[in-house]
Amino acid sequence: MTQPQPVPAPAPPPVCPRHPDRIAYVRCQRCGRPTCPECQRPAAVGIQCVDCVRDAARQSRPARTAFGGAVTGRTPVVTYTLIALCVLSYVLQLTVPGWTQRLAFAPVLGESEPWRFLTAAFLHSQNQILHIVFNMVALWSVGPFLEAMLGRWRFLALYLLSAVGGSVMFLLLASPDSLSWFTWLVGASGAVFGLFGAVLVVLRRTGRSAGGIVGVLVINAVLGFVLPGVAWQAHLGGLVVGAVLGTAFAYAPRERRLPVAVGACAGVAVLLAAAVLVSYGAV
């Protein structure tokens, strides 16, 4: 006589762990858990859940350029911010009485108001609009490339220290017994020439042609001695600082990239400060 056999209860349909109210027949290729359409992420093979994708992103190291910059195609925020600050400052120069006089650099004022060594780089000649136009075009031309190659903080340090280096060189080559001690210095040229010096080293390091940059440097060097009112001293100071930092950034060993970069920036800052103290101490 045949005995009736109990029928096993049907297994409940699989549900998404993140959304238990949703049935999910697709499983993550990595962890095997069910995943609903909202939690599915396309992978190289099959589908992965959003949790596995997030965990993989945490564990993976971001791609870097040969000099430490992140290979992410990010917007050159630092470059655009520096351009915006220069343009804003120029507008304030034209609209706010005394703005230029409070921030411009002159050797006679640098000892008592040291912030002028940097703030002068965000000012430009009020009577020559081409002054700011040429500097901003140059910054826009080389800034995004260097920012991508070096990374944001290295690029910013390069720009600011080159700007200070231009003012320091202007001080070192001025004489307390001449008109140069009381001459105003404004413009981002020192910082821009620092970028030129750094990009020259970076291009050489990567085996690319640097002929275009060399041509620009030669033309500007000649113009600095031919045209009146051009502070070639600031160009020279920015170029030297940019080349030194560019060399440190470009040739640092991969495993010691960060300490070399920090040490180079700190070393340049100390040398610039020492040069200022010695110069004023000899007056």
19 catalytic residue (yes or no): no
Query: What is the Cα–Cα distance from 117 to 2, expressed in whole angstroms?
Result: 102
- Tell the residue number behind the tokens 């200022």, with chain if given: 276
Q: Which of 89, 162, 180, 189 is catalytic?
A: 189
Q: Which of 167, 180, 235, 279 is catalytic?
A: 235
For 282, half-sphere exposure in the C-beta direction (CA atoms, 13 angstrom radius) is 12
189 catalytic residue (yes or no): yes
DSSP letter string, 75-144 = --HHHHHHHHHHHHHHHHHHHSTTHHHHH-B-HHHHTT-TTHHHHGGG---TT-HHHHHHHHHHHHHHHH
| CB-based burial label for 255 (10 Å; 0-12, 13-18, 19+) | exposed
Q: CA angle, corner 76, sides to 71 and 79, nearest 5?
A: 140
Q: Six-digit token pair at 135?
A: 């500097």
For 60, half-sphere exposure in the C-beta direction (CA atoms, 13 angstrom radius) is 9
Provide the annotated active-site residues. Answer: 189, 235
